[in-house]
Structure 1
C-alpha cells in the first residue's frame, strides 16, 4: 500500500487541498477562504477525503501552509509558502535552482 500525503494551503482568499502518494497527485480541492480558517480547514479536508474515498486515518502525513496554516490543528507540520514552493518545484523540475514567488 502506498504512503498518502495531504497538503492544505489556507491563503488569504483561496484554500487548496492536495492528496497525493509518492508518485502522483490523487485529488485536489479549491474553495474560497472566508473568515473562519479553523472550521474551513476541517470542512475542506473532509470534502477532499470524501471525494477521494478515503478516511482521515489513511493519510500518513499532513502539511499546512499559507496565511492560515496555524489554524490547521490536525497538521503534522506547518511550513512557509516559499518552502513549499521550493519542495514542489524540486519534485516537478529536479534541475531547477530558482523559485520566484510573485504573489
Structure 2
C-alpha cells in the first residue's frame, strides 16, 4: 500500500502515516516489556480509521469515474458502516457504559 500512497487523498495519506506510527510505537513498547493491551487497541483504532477513509475514498472515486457497480457498492456498505459506527461509538464513549 505504501508505494502507491503518492496518488492518494491527503487525508488517507495522513491516516496511513498514523497507523505506521502507532505500529512502531506499539512494537517499541512491547520490546520494553510494557503493557500490550492499550497499545494494541490504539493500533486497532488507527487501522479502523484508515480502513473507513480508504473505503469512503474508493466509493467516492469509483462513483466519480462511473466504475462503481451495484454489487461492489453493496459489498462495501457493510464494512464502511462497521468502521464508521465503531469509530462513532469510540468518540462518544458509549463503550464505557457496558
Under TM normalisation by the shorter chain, which class is it? under 0.3
- Asked which structure has the greater CA Rg, the reply is 2
Higher strand proportion, which one? 1
Higher helix proportion, which one? 2
